[in-house]
Amino acid sequence: MPGATGADLPPETLSLILKCLISSTGKHRHLKHGLSASSLVCKFWSEAIRPVLFRELTLRTAEDVRFLKNIVSSHRFTTSSLSGAIEKIYIHQEAPETKPWLHHVHGLSTRLPKTRFQCTVVNRASDSEQAAGCWAPFRSIPRVTPSYVRLSELTLHGVVFTSTTELARLVDNFPTLERCTCDQLTFLDPSPVVQSRRIRRRASLTLWWCNVSRCKDMAVSVQAALAADVVAAGRRTGLDDRTWDATLQALLASVPDTFEGATVHLDGQNGNVFGTSSN
């Protein structure tokens, strides 16, 4: 009796094996290397495994972006099993970097309309170096606007901003953004966001969730107010400035100072419900 091969495995069994190996938690992500080797064994394994390998990708440099762009731009990609397989692309940037490269992702987002893009920016500079650590991802390319990059989630860790308004304006530049996480940020000017200086989005607002925590020299009530400003909670709930300010101050008065941060989220298409939760 001839021995069984990989091609003899029922598709359902193979699918379960691959799902167990590639966990969404990232705990087993190192096993991708073994799957890559298996995908080279034969055409059957290649067709079965490659979509799993490409389901979630991480880009760390401009070269990574160019390499992936060359792949998705080829005719063979559009006719292969990889077409439609890329579900998420994680963009990881160190700030500050010599040359911004996030704008290069624009070419990928236009070719992968169903892919979700998530960006994480980390600043590892010491306190003495932070004054020069402001993140300006589009500083050298004024002809290309951030809105060309279709981000759904943005995470900022340890990044320095000149003001809270600068953070709000950065978020406004991504019309498809849904979630924003701000951890251990530093603001050279921690004054409240100047709403009149914000950028009016060309598309409807999609941002519904913002977390601000452990920011330098900022009380939890100030961080909660900043999160509310970033999602423009007052305007989107239809309240006038006076009513919104009174509501927000009453809410913040009940927040214990022992909390490290706050989350503001809008529920409903037009912000019909407003809520906060601590870290």
What pLDDT score does 177 carry? 92
CA–CA dist 202, 87 (Å, integer): 26
On average, the pLDDT of the chain sits at 76
Query: Nearest CA to 169 among 209, 205, 200, 210?
Result: 200
pLDDT top residue among 128 and 222? 222
pLDDT top residue among 145 and 64? 64
What pLDDT score does 211 carry? 94
The three-state DSSP-derived secondary structure of 27-67 is CCHHHHHHHHHHHCCCHHHHHHHHHHHCCEEEECCHHHHHH
Cα dihedral: 132, 137, 141, 142 (round 10)? -90
| Residues in the chain, overall count | 279
What pLDDT score does 53 carry? 77
Residue 117 host element (H or E): strand 116-122
Angle (deg, nearest 10), helices 11-21 and 43-53: 40
Please name the residue that has the structure tokens 């003495």. Answer: 128
pLDDT in tens, 178-221: 999 999 999 999 888 887 777 665 445 789 899 999 999 998 88
Please name the residue that has the structure tokens 């079965």. Answer: 48
pLDDT top residue among 41 and 51? 51
Banded model confidence at residue 174, pLDDT cuts 50, 70, 90: confident
92 neighbors 122 (Cβ within 8 angstroms): yes
pLDDT in tens, 94-153: 876 667 788 888 888 888 989 999 999 988 776 544 554 455 665 544 344 556 688 999
Share above pLDDT 90 across residues of the chain, in percent, rounded to a whole number: 21
pLDDT top residue among 233 and 161? 161
What pLDDT score does 182 carry? 96
Residue 105 host element (H or E): helix 105-111
Pairing verdict, β 151-157 and 116-122: parallel
Find which of 87-91, 145-149, 174-178 is predicted with most confidence, using mean pLDDT.
87-91
What pLDDT score does 144 carry? 45
CA–CA dist 36, 215 (Å, integer): 41
What type of residue is 225?
Answer: A
What pLDDT score does 140 carry? 43
What pLDDT score does 143 carry? 42
Q: Is the pLDDT of residue 14 over 50?
A: yes
Banded model confidence at residue 23, pLDDT cuts 50, 70, 90: low
Sequence-distant (≥ 6) Cβ neighbours of residue 8 within 8 angstroms: none
What pLDDT score does 119 carry? 92
CA–CA dist 127, 115 (Å, integer): 37
pLDDT top residue among 212 and 274? 212
CA–CA dist 279, 262 (Å, integer): 6
Q: Is the pLDDT of residue 17 over 70?
A: no
Both tokens of 129, joined, read: 């170096």
pLDDT top residue among 81 and 115? 115
Cα dihedral: 200, 203, 209, 213 (round 10)? -40
CA distances from 60 to 90, 95, 232, 241 (A): 9, 12, 31, 42
Q: Is the pLDDT of residue 48 over 50?
A: yes
What pLDDT score does 263 carry? 85
Strand, coil or helix: 112: coil
